[in-house]
Structure 1
């Protein structure tokens, strides 16, 4: 260290040149350096959320948690797996070793979970992602004397406008219930037409879907065909056909059920 200081004293011109190069390099890169008020960093954990609506915690544990744990067991990089079975949803968390490649482990977990074919039919698509630590800069609360749908629409508009501002990386809408279309089937109407609840459910699955129809070659080129039958609103679901009646007419879902375009029943906490 003393030799280094002595060299700088004996060579002041070289020392000044080195200082100028360092300062110039810093000024050239200062504009491209990523700056964050609250930097985001990985928690070395992967979260797996599997909705199983209507199932009890015991059913969720047996049908989802155990099968996911068995599927991801043995993946290199996983330190510990913990599961939480709640009513209607399973939450599995995989803790990783600090030196593990989180992206590679995440891809392996997705491949293993997507390959599970023994889930009950009522189980929805798993949501898999890496847990990161993020802190918000501000909270914006919206309130008003209006219905829930209108209030959520205003919240979504505010979210989109804030996200469009320069320097904003992510904006989340919290404290709102997800949209849900519920079908309340009248039992006496089912008996009147000789239907069962399973038959109605199968008819809805069969009719409310978009399907590719192949392609058609013409002189101008190739035309892709697609049938669009996915229902999105209560009115769309009410028009879904169930069966053909003896007089040639069709029985629609709205004839035997009440379709409500509303929100899911969830536990919401006031902020």
Structure 2
């Protein structure tokens, strides 16, 4: 394209425009999120021993799911009050389909113990929070939880944030304690009381009423939530109209579940609020929005004695890698400009550096098309490519400059120089691409982690090859003749520096 100015410039504009338009659509995350090709089934069985859990839950789940297509290995763990089954899938299995099949098989089990809770089936991923906030102070557990929920609601309302979760603190629990003497006095059993509580705390549909203009749905709202709600549950109703309520015979406590969970931050009670990235949200935008809202709204409104600190900010890792890439890119381009300007020609150095930038910008379009996110691993691929990509552009530029020194006309020199070096440049790029291509075939979790690196490196090299052979020759076809005397002061000063370097070497 050395002789076709329009085609060369159109190709350059297309690569730059495609990269710039694609950058907004590229997912931005710290580490790539992907499925671990595992599905877990968890069943809570309060009060059961590990032997009971194994016999009444684990064996039934194992027998039911082992026939699901794509299952490679099943591992079961029985703990006190908890059954966990980890199902590892074969490579290449459709995880979503396998998840649906496993759910269907587990739902068919009707012989679980009555006191066992509903099975939870979920896919395992490497999802991590973007920010982790610690709310701490010399406060009660309830205060820490309530403040954490307020912070969670405030952050969830931000347009940049869609998922916030409170952790590190126990769940609320309504506990009911009844003395055995009270039960005998009223002729009740624990099962009777449990049945009264269960039936007295329900939201039920009562059908609908049809009118000439509309249909009105009727629903009874009886779900209990607070200590007072449960204390008012009727346990015994006598023919004479007297009633015995739960609060009359039992002690009802609105407290926390009895589990071994204590969270401390700097030696003080704490609750954690974790901010996650979902869908196509961008990590750096989330962190900036959360930090600004914390400083402006949340922290000033905290109760006395309560503090909020950013315990972990994963975006700092991404920002650090991005800063490293920018520093390396600036340093690399500066070295190319200085070296080529001192030994060859300023315009040749400029267009060579521009070509390197074009190949990197064009790679953004490849990332968007292949679904590669901006993360620490893809940025590492860019950093690797910086040290490799300059070779082909420099070789093409040097050969064109050599043809000009022989007295060949500018366009002809660009064509001859590019043609003479085409073969070596292509094979040099292909050799590097072949060296990185086996990483594309690495299976399993490790392959998903490394996948971005070869894609980035190969894309940068291929686009650099296209730019060097199709775009750069046109730009270098306008080089001035060798030993052309500069007219400006800056040009003359540069010539004196070049002559001094030549003389010393």
Partner of 2:120: 127
Please tell me whether residue 199 in structure 1 is matched to residue 189 in structure 2.
Answer: no
Partner of 2:496: none
| Inter-partner Cα distance in structure 2 for 1:164 and 1:48 | 32
Partner of 2:170: 177
Partner of 1:242: 235
Give the direction of change, closer, same or farther, for the CA distance of 1:80–1:106 in structure 2 (3 Å limit): same
Number of positions where the alignment pairs a residue of Structure 1 with one of Structure 2: 264
Deviations 1:18-53 (A, max 9, x none): 222222222222212222123321111112111111
Of 98, 101, 105, which residue of structure 1 is paired with 2:94? 101
1 or 2 for the larger relative contact order (CA 8 Å, sep ≥6)?
A: 2
Partner of 1:223: 216
Partner of 2:26: 33
Please tell me whether residue 72 in structure 1 is matched to residue 65 in structure 2.
Answer: yes
Instruction: Note the C-alpha offset of 1:166.
Output: 4.6
| Inter-partner Cα distance in structure 1 for 2:98 and 2:163 | 25
Between Structure 1 and Structure 2, the one with more strand by share is: 1
Partner of 1:263: 256
Q: Secondary structure at the match of 1:140?
A: strand
Please tell me whether residue 210 in structure 1 is matched to residue 183 in structure 2.
Answer: no
Instruction: Note the C-alpha offset of 1:217.
Output: 1.5
Of 47, 50, 53, which residue of structure 2 is paired with 1:54? 47
Please tell me whether residue 114 in structure 1 is matched to residue 107 in structure 2.
Answer: yes
Between Structure 1 and Structure 2, the one with more helix by share is: 2
Between 1:102-111 and 1:11-20, the stretch displaced more is 11-20
Considering only CA atoms, is the larger Rg found in Structure 1 or Structure 2?
2
| Inter-partner Cα distance in structure 2 for 1:116 and 1:90 | 15
| Inter-partner Cα distance in structure 2 for 1:219 and 1:164 | 41
Q: Secondary structure at the match of 2:136?
A: coil
User: 5+ residue gaps in structure 2?
Assistant: 265-505
Partner of 1:23: 16
Instruction: Note the C-alpha offset of 1:245.
Output: 3.0
Of 7, 13, 17, which residue of structure 2 is paired with 1:14? 7
Of 139, 145, 151, which residue of structure 1 is paired with 2:144? 151
Q: Secondary structure at the match of 2:84?
A: strand
Instruction: Note the C-alpha offset of 1:13.
Output: 4.4
User: 5+ residue gaps in structure 1?
Assistant: 1-7
| Inter-partner Cα distance in structure 2 for 1:33 and 1:70 | 43
Give the direction of change, closer, same or farther, for the CA distance of 1:216–1:13 in structure 2 (3 Å limit): closer
| Inter-partner Cα distance in structure 1 for 2:237 and 2:163 | 50
Deviations 1:58-85 (A, max 9, x none): 1111111111111211111111111111
Between 1:244-253 and 1:172-181, the stretch displaced more is 244-253
| Inter-partner Cα distance in structure 2 for 1:245 and 1:145 | 49
Between 1:79-88 and 1:162-171, the stretch displaced more is 162-171
| Inter-partner Cα distance in structure 2 for 1:38 and 1:268 | 29
TM-score with structure 1 setting the length: 0.90
Q: Secondary structure at the match of 1:172?
A: strand
TM-score with structure 2 setting the length: 0.50
Deviations 1:195-243 (A, max 9, x none): 1111111111222111111111123421111122211111111111112
Partner of 1:63: 56
| Inter-partner Cα distance in structure 2 for 1:57 and 1:124 | 16
| Inter-partner Cα distance in structure 2 for 1:151 and 1:269 | 12
Of 182, 195, 204, which residue of structure 2 is paired with 1:189? 182
| Inter-partner Cα distance in structure 2 for 1:155 and 1:245 | 45
